[in-house]
């Protein structure tokens, strides 16, 4: 299979079950909304070391937010609801409540599993916080220096998928960077998915394990151009740079759509091949075959 002159490798991405929450964050204007987003989505590239994988799923017009202001949906992924219970209140309390004019709402439909959000953050109010019921949902009004921080009491936890991916190979670093950006932007335009790495792109693809016992993951040497000749390489002879775009999503369809959009956007001049990372099918429950994803 080819898209233009770019070969689509006959392989698959191996992905894993994850839990996620949806945060609807609103603010008075774009400046303060972006300020909150930059903070709350920071240091969240991979759960290998970060407490969560986060990213913007969609931007919302005022007619689509609970309080009639501009907003975004941020998806936060973790391996368990317990992991999200630790990560999400910390991120929201430190990075969103501190940002002028913001409020936070639950963007997920009702589920059997919930975690606390406002019920954890409310104690910052030092006894002056107040509960508010709206349409059978509880919110907390925490007094702050510009009025009140409104935050939903609990969040519904959904079951999603993490680790869908494509890996591009290019004969030109400049072309590789441009293609990686096109791919990340294509994922950002899809609903129900995020690309959690910096700018949506990972330059440091990883494998499970390491020669150092303390490390759960280490560099994917098979994709490192400088190691060609010293290891069993997966790079084409002409490849000088490879980049990975990782896709987390709310379900299989969303991940497949994100991967397909990324691959189509990446393909182009001097992009030699698009493949995907897997572990031989032995670790991840979900297998996204590139030919099937693009064919559908």
The 10s digit of each residue's pLDDT in 170-179 is: 999 999 999 9
Q: Which of 197, 199, 126, 115 is nearest to 156 (CA)?
A: 115
The 10s digit of each residue's pLDDT in 178-221 is: 999 999 999 999 999 999 999 999 999 999 999 999 999 999 99
Q: What integer pLDDT is reported at residue 171 of this predicted model?
A: 98
d(CA 116, CA 152): 9
Query: Burial code of 75-93, b = ≥16 C-beta within 10 A, e = fewer?
Result: bbbbeebebbbebbbebbb
Residues of CATH 3.30.70.520 domain(s) within the chain?
2-14+159-295, 19-158
Architecture of the CATH domain 2-14+159-295: 2-Layer Sandwich (3.30)
Q: Is 230 a residue whose pLDDT tops 70?
A: yes
Fold annotation for 19-158: Alpha-Beta Plaits (3.30.70)
DSSP state of 116: E
d(CA 270, CA 173): 9
């Amino acid at each position: 299979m080819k898209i233009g002159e770019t070969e689509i490798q006959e392989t698959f991405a191996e992905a894993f079950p994850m839990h996620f929450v949806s945060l609807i964050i609103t603010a008075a204007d774009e400046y303060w909304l972006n300020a909150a987003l930059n903070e709350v989505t920071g240091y969240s590239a991979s759960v290998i070391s970060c407490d969560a994988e986060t990213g913007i799923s969609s931007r919302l017009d005022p007619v689509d937010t609970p309080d009639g202001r501009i907003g975004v949906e941020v998806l936060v992924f973790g391996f368990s609801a317990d992991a999200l219970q630790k990560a999400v209140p910390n991120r929201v309390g430190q990075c969103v409540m501190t940002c002028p004019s913001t409020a936070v709402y639950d963007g997920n439909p009702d589920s059997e599993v919930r975690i606390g959000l406002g019920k954890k953050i409310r104690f910052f109010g030092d006894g002056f916080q107040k509960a508010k019921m709206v349409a059978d949902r509880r919110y907390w009004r925490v007094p702050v220096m510009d009025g009140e921080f409104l935050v939903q009491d609990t969040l519904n936890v959904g079951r999603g998928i993490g680790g869908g991916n494509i890996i591009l190979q290019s004969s030109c670093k400049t072309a590789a960077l441009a293609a990686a950006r096109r791919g990340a932007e294509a994922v950002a335009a899809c609903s129900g998915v995020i690309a959690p790495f910096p700018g949506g792109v990972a330059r440091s693809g990883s494998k499970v394990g390491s020669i150092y016992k303390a490390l759960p993951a280490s560099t994917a040497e098979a994709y490192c151009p400088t190691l060609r000749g010293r290891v069993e390489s997966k790079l084409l002879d002409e490849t000088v740079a490879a980049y990975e775009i990782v896709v987390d999503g709310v379900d299989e369809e969303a991940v497949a759509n994100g991967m397909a959009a990324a691959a189509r956007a990446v393909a182009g001049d001097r992009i030699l091949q698009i493949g995907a990372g897997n572990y031989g099918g032995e670790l991840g429950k979900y297998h996204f075959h590139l030919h099937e994803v693009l064919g559908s």
